Amino acid sequence: MKWPLHDRAIPDRKIPLYNRFYLHAPRASHVDPVMVWGTEIDADALTSFLRERNRGGRVLLTTAHALIRATAVALAQFPDMNVRVVGRRVYAFRQVNIRMGFVHRGSREIDLLVVRDADAKSLEQIGLEVWERLLQASRGTGPRDRDRARLRRIPGFWFRQVLRIYGFVDRHVRLPTLGRLDELRGGGAMVNDLSFPGAPPMRSYKPTRFPDQADSLNLTLGPIESKVVARAEQLVSTGVMPLFLRADHRLVDAYQVGRFLAVVRDLLSHPERLDLPAGADATTPANK
């Protein structure tokens, strides 16, 4: 049994008043605390870095692995973003765990995985772990796959009741994780790499929230596009990737979202910094 959240909630006096307006707003107010901030990253730098690393590395690295690492490093730098709401209280996560969505090739549906302590793992370690999970899922042989198969056998009526009760309890009580299926609640940030070949240009994207409400942040990377930009007073064509961050106004303000996103963007645009050891300052002075 693991407790993904710290024992005590963050005291109200430490939560900014504006966030508390959202946190304690009555349902009748139809409050919408979801914020989305979209930006772009320098795709040329990221693809060159991955190409170089994939010349001789032990593990095939992708943009998804870079996104996991960048999000984890940024979360370690901004621990006030690694939190979730339970009832009307805010709790901090014990670890920097990152969830990732992927296409489950065995069942042909979307599934999620969690990379634990992602801020303490190298890009290669993250890559190995993700590939291991993807291969397990493609064969349907992973322990989590057996749990999913059991869940699938629950009749529709009972599935809905279980989900309702579980959802209610999870929203109001600081629960431990008991099994492989609810371990996802241990990750406060979710990443989604939608830069697959053939994906249409992404102008806007609003990531959804999961019913478990533990994923307080979602970062989604879109496909590469060519764009003409001004550099040293010259117009040049460069590759860019859209990056969207969904956050929760009950927990953070727009300026925090902007600072956090700037660090993720900076890391992905200067990906050599993803190789720095955990705890090293990986940001440019402008983002401090």
Residues in the chain: 288
Under rule CB under 8 A, residue 125 binds other proteins:
no
Helix (H, G, I), strand (E, B) or coil at 40: strand
| 10 DSSP β-pair partners | 90
Looking only at residues 231 through 270 of this chain, which bind other proteins when binding is defined by CB under 8 A? none
Which region, judged by CB under 8 A, interacts with other proteins, from 9-17, 146-154, 193-201, 225-233? 193-201
43 vs 83 by CB, closer to other proteins: 43
Per-residue binder mask for other proteins (CB under 8 A), 67-96, x = binder: ------------------------------
131 binds other proteins (CB under 8 A): yes
Exposure class string for 258-269: b at 16+ Cβ within 10 A, else e: ebbbbbbbbbbb
Q: Select the residue interacting with other proteins from 132, 146, 272, 276 (CB under 8 A).
A: 132
The verdict on 280 binding other proteins (CB under 8 A) reads no
- Regarding 196 and contact with other proteins (CB under 8 A), the answer is yes
Phi, psi of 83 (to 5 degrees): -140, 170
Measured distance CA(45)–CA(42) in Å, rounded: 6
Give the residue, chosen from 39, 107, 122, 138, that forms a contact with other proteins under the rule CB under 8 A.
138
Instruction: Give least dist CB 225 to other proteins, A.
Output: 13
Q: Which is nearer to other proteins, 90 or 100 (CB)?
A: 100
Q: Residue 138: how many CB atoms within 10 A of its CB?
A: 16
**110 lines the binding site for other proteins (CB under 8 A):** no
45 binds other proteins (CB under 8 A): no
Piece of 77-85, 125-133, 176-184, 264-272 that binds other proteins (CB under 8 A): 125-133
CB half-sphere exposure, 22, CA atoms < 13 A: 18
The minimum distance between CB 142 and other proteins, in angstroms, equals: 12
SS3 85: strand
Residue 60 beta carbon to other proteins: minimum distance, rounded to whole angstroms: 5
Cβ distance 118 to 72 under 8 Å?
yes
Is residue 198 at the binding interface for other proteins, with CB under 8 A as the rule?
yes
Binding mask 48-67 toward other proteins (x if CB under 8 A, else -) reads ---x--xxxxxxx-x-x---
Q: Which positions lie near other proteins, rule CB under 8 A?
A: 47, 51, 54-60, 62, 64, 102-103, 105, 127-129, 131-132, 134-135, 137-139, 196-198
